[in-house]
Chains A and B, each alone.
Chain A
Amino acid sequence: MPGLFTVDFTTALIFGAVTAGIPLLLAGLGEQISEKAGVLNIGIEGMMLFGAYTGFLVAFKTDSIWLGFLGGAGGGMLVALLMAIFCVWLGMNQIVIGIALTLGAEGLTALLHHFQFSRTYPRLGAIDSLPLPVISDIPVFGRALFDRHPLVYLSILLVFAMAWLFRNTYVGLNLQAAGDKPAALDAAGVDVYLTRSCAVLATGALAGIGGAYLANVGAGLFLPFMTNGAGFIGLVLAMLARGHPVWVLFGAALFGASLALTTALQVAGLNIPTDVVQMLPFAMVMLVLVIFARHSYLPPALGLPYVRGER
C-alpha cells in the first residue's frame, strides 16, 4: 500500500511501542530487585494484575491518574507482602507460591471486576502528556517519545537511578549479598529477612505501577487477565539483563518495538501467515536468550530460602 508509512502512522507505531514497553520495563526492573536479593518472584504477573485492578479502581474513583499509580503500587505491594511472608519468612517454595499468587490474583480480580464493572465497563478519558521543550517538536520521534505522560520519563530515569543504587550504595551491596551469600550478610549484622522482604515489596510496587500504567494509560480500562503474560515477560527481561537495569530498558524497548513491527507488517499487507508475524516479539526474546543467556548471571542463592544458622 503506497504512502502508508506517513508521519502519523509511523508516529503511532513508535508511540504504541513505548506504551507497550513501559509496563514491561517496570515489571523487569522490579523483578531484578527481587532476583538480586535471591527471591525468584514468579508471582510478578499476579502483582501486576492486582496493581492494574487497584490502579484503575483508584484512578476511576478519584479521577486522578497519579493516585491511580499510587493505588497500583499499593495493590502490587499487597500481593508482594504475601510473597514475602510465605517465601522469605516461612521459607516456602518460591515457584509454587509465585504461581499460586498469580492464579489467586487472576481469580480475585476477575471476581471483583464482575461485581463492580461488568455491567458498565467504565473507561478513563485521554491522559494528559508532558511535552519536553524543543525535542518534542522533532518530526515523528518527537511526539512519540518526548510528548508522553510524566511516568514514562520517570520510568526511564528509574533505570539509571537503579544502576547507580546497585553500584554505589550500601543498599545495592546488601541486595547483592542477600542473593549471593546471605549468610555473609547476616554475619555482617544486616537482617537478611528484612532485606529480602523490602526487595520483594519494591518489586510489588514497581510491578503494580506497571499494571496500573497498562490499565490506565495503555487500555484506559480494566479487564480480567488483561496483563496477558506481561509480568512473565518482565521476569525474562530481568533474567536476561544479568543485574543491569539498562539491559532491562533495552529488552523492553526491543519487545515494544517488535510489537509495533508486527502491526506495521500486517497493515502494510504483507501476505505471510499472521501467526508468523505474531511470533516476532517472542522470537526476538528467544533469540536474545540464546545469544546472551549462556552468560547470564544468576545469584547463587536465587530461589533458596534463607534459614539462619543452616548450612
Chain B
Amino acid sequence: MIKLKALGALTLGALIGLAATAQAEEIKSIAIMVPEQGTDFGWNQQGVDAARIVAEKFGLEFLPAEGLGYGDVRQTLRELAEEGAGLIIAHAGGYNAAAQEIAAETGTPVAIVDRPDDMKAGLVADYTLSGREGAYLAGRLAVKMSKTGTIGIVVSGEPPSWNSQSAAFAMGAKATNPDIGIVYAVIGPAAYADAAGGRRVTESVISAGADVIFGQGNGSSFGMIQAVETTKAVNGEKAWFIDVIGDKSELDKGNLLSSVLWDMVPVFSAMVEDIKADTFGTRGYQISLADDSVRLLKTPHIPDDIWDDLMQLRGDIIAGTVTVDEINDAQQVRALMSSVEAAE
C-alpha cells in the first residue's frame, strides 16, 4: 500500500513537472496593449520597445496593439488571447478590470499596472513601476539648477506611478535645500493627451516663480515643453524641463535638462521567466537605480560638478544609506507639497 502511495506521489510529481514544462512551451508570443501610439517618447513607446526587445530576446512572436484609447478593450484582449498570446501586457491603468476578466475567461496570463492587490497566481501579475529613486535625484538636480528658488511639478493625472515620483522629487529637493519653494499642479483628472492644458498650467507655474519644471504627462508633456520653450522665468532667464520615462533629447530645443528614464526590459523579461518557471502572478515587478532600469538622463546642460554630485547620491541610494520612501496616495502627495510649502 505504501509502495502504491509512493508510486502515486511520484506519478503526480512527474505530471506536475510535465505540466510546468508544457506551460513553458506554450509561451510562444508576447502581446502588449497601449492606449496611444508607441511613438510618444514616453510610457507607450518605452513599453512597446521593451516588449519588442524581450520578444526578440526569448524568440517569441511579438503582438503589439497600439492606439487603443482608454475605452473598453475586452474585444482586443479576447482577440489577442485567441491569437495565442502567452502573455498579455495591459499597459494602462484603465485596462486593469477588463484584463483580469479576460484572463479568467481565457486562461491567458495578463500583466496589469498599479494594482498589486489584484495578483492571482498563474494568471494576473502586477507591475507598479516607479522611478522614484530617479525622481529623488531629479529633485536635487532641480534645486542645484534653480536660480529663482522655486521649482515646479506639473502632472497630467495622479496615478500611483506619478504620485510616487512627485513625492520623491519633492523629498529630493527638500533634502538639498529645505528653503526651496515647490509649486505643484495637476492638469486634469486624466489629461494625458491634453497638450493645451499642459502648456496653460505650466505657463502658470512658471509665472508663479518656478524655473525648473518636473513634468509627468505622456502626450501633454509636449505642451509642457512648449511652455518651457516659450515662457521666460520670472527672473528673465530660461526655464528648464525635466521629463520622465522616455528620452526626448532629439526633440530638444535647448530646455530639456534631464529625464528620469525607465527601462522596462528587465520587468518584462522577469515576467516571461516567471511564466516559464510557473511562478507568474506570485510577485510584483519594479524598476530601480541598482540595475539601471531607472536612471537620470545626462544632457550637455548639466554641469559636470553637479552630475558628479548626483552620481554620488545615486551610489548612496543604491547602497541604502539614503532611502526614498514610496508614497503612492494622491492625498499624501498633496499633503507633502503643502508641508513643503508650509516649511518655508
Contacts and interface: CB of A to CB of B under 8 A. Distances in A.
A155 interface: no
Given A266-B185, A266-B186, A221 B331 contact: no
A141 B37 CA distance: 40
B228 to A, nearest CB: 11
B200 A123 contact: no
Interface stretch (A5-13, A193-201, A285-293): A5-13
Contact of B39 (A1, A114, A272): A114
Given A114-B67, A123-B222, A12 B193 contact: no
B196 A20 contact: yes
A271 B197 CA distance: 22
Pick from B195, B198, B219, B251 the residue with the most CB of A within 10 Å: B195
A223 B197 CA distance: 12
Given A8-B234, A13-B204, A263-B204, A220 B199 contact: yes
Contact of B335 (A13, A16, A271): A271
A218 B234 CA distance: 21
Given A16-B200, A120-B251, A224-B36, A266 B193 contact: no
B226 interface: yes
Interface stretch (A66-74, A89-97, A243-251, A273-281): A273-281
Interface stretch (B17-25, B268-276, B297-305, B336-344): B336-344
Given A4-B208, A20-B200, A275 B189 contact: yes
Interface in B166-215: 181, 183-186, 188-189, 191, 193-201, 203-209
A272 B337 CA distance: 12
B263 interface: no
- Which of B36, B196, B197, B337 has the most A CB atoms < 10 Å from its CB? B196
Interface residues of A, number: 48
Interface in A1-38: 1, 4, 6, 8-9, 11-13, 15-16, 19-20
Interface string B309-341: 000000000000000000000110011011001
A277 to B, nearest CB: 8
Contacts of B189: 275, 278
Nearest to A277: B186
Contact of B203 (A12, A221, A223, A271): A12
Nearest to B192: A225
Interface residues of B, number: 51
A125 interface: yes
Contact of A278 (B40, B188, B219): B188
A221 B341 contact: no
A156 to B, nearest CB: 19
Interface in B33-90: 36-37, 39-41, 67, 69
A119 B193 CA distance: 16
A12 B341 contact: no
Contact of B196 (A4, A8, A214): A214
B131 interface: no
A219 B195 contact: yes
A151 interface: no
Contacts of B160: none
A113 B66 CA distance: 14
Nearest to A213: B196
A228 interface: yes
A220 B191 contact: no
A226 interface: yes
Contacts of B208: 4, 6, 8-9, 12, 267
A19 B225 contact: no
A53 to B, nearest CB: 13
B282 interface: no
A219 B222 contact: yes
B243 interface: no
A221 B195 contact: yes
A288 to B, nearest CB: 20
B247 to A, nearest CB: 13
B133 interface: no
B320 to A, nearest CB: 32
B158 interface: yes
B116 to A, nearest CB: 22
